[in-house]
Structure 1
């Protein structure tokens, strides 16, 4: 019997490239339809798994409240500023016994629910690592089976799980979804990717 992966939404970054002063949270920017960026990023993940753990930083400006209202289990990473690995490890410790994890980014609002479901299906079939590929380009979210638990928990710095992905050939899920390669880092990105909505 297939067991559903736990979703992880990483939403603890400061988004300095979006606003170097830190005054404007990119995650709380409205998209063309009016939905907040982080809410859109969470929605597809929430629709594809039974549980989503969302990681925020302490001074999140309301990101956690937004995600909690959607149904995410929100957890605060006290050392989020040390890099993405800290947020990922913090999330994994909230569900260490999960059969697998589907890890999405809070600044990628255009990933389709159908993509999330395809990645989930690959994990449930036993893929140790699964990545989406659109038009030859690898993207996010990324899924990991429990076989990689210890390696994931040992991560440090701002590279996330890149080293694990380099060391192990992932299962590739080809998708017709430009959202998997469309993150929002700058104001220009927000304007450019609005065509994906």
Structure 2
């Protein structure tokens, strides 16, 4: 993308899940003395985007997100999006966040709040690889697709109609040649924290 195009990039961080497999409180679990969600938010804020829209349901997670943004001196770039239908699943969170994006959005990154180890350089590589508003760009490591995923503006209407618990997976599976897979040297695109042992693995990898 050109420099002028990046002015319309936004990011979404999905942080409205209850973390049932973790036993609850997942996004507030500590990693390097900071809540898990703080790491995903930091990477999103370091991406070449105007703002970061964080989908939240738990007031405690919202407080952690706002505290993190203040600590990073980035409060003006944070938009908190309350999700009233979070129990419906990830699709509802992404739908709600996508609906909050401004009309001049040229593309949007989708980050997951439970992925703390993505290299901040990866989103920049993805942004450079987006050639058309009709495209989707995803990182690839060791032959496997990961996160974040960058959706061109043409996909926003579809993101705004999602439902269920699989997020945008069906869009990716049906994108065909519109999905560009960009090789990266970043194992963090696969490290999501679903269970306590995943968090222990993340801590060991620091």
Q: TM-score, normalised by structure 1?
A: 0.91
- Could you report, residue by residue, the CA deviation over 1:6-49 in whole angstroms, capped at 9, with x for unpaired residues? 10000000000000xx3xx1111111x21221001110110112
- 1:88 equivalent to 2:94? Answer yes
SS in 2 for 1:157: coil
Aligned match of 2:64? 66
User: What is the distance in 2 between the residues matched to 1:51 and 1:96?
Assistant: 10
Listed as ranges, the gaps of 5+ residues in structure 2 are: 70-74
**CA contact under 8 A between 1:110 and 1:196: conserved in structure 2?**
no
Kindly indicate whether the alpha-carbon contact (under 8 Å) linking 2:5 and 2:106 is maintained by their aligned counterparts in 1. no
Pick the aligned partner of 1:163 from 170, 192, 203: 170
Judge conservation of contact 2:94–2:167 (CA < 8 Å) in 1: yes
Q: Which residues of 2 match residues 175-194 of structure 1 at below 5 A?
A: 175-194=184-203
Shift of 1:65: 1.4
Instruction: Find the counterpart in structure 2 of residue 3 from structure 1.
Output: 6
Could you say which residue in structure 1 is the equivalent of 2:152?
145
Bigger shift: 101-110 or 87-96? Answer: 87-96
Aligned to 2:120: 113
User: In 1, distance between residues paired with 2:175 and 2:201?
Assistant: 33
Post-superposition, which runs of at least 4 consecutive aligned residues in structure 1 deviate over 2 A? Answer: 120-123
Alignment of 1:37-48 (within 5 A): 37-48=36-47
**TM-score relative to the length of structure 2:** 0.87
1:34 aligns with 2:33: yes
Q: How many residues align?
A: 189
Report the CA distance shift for 1:99/1:41 in structure 2 as closer, same or farther (over 3 A). same
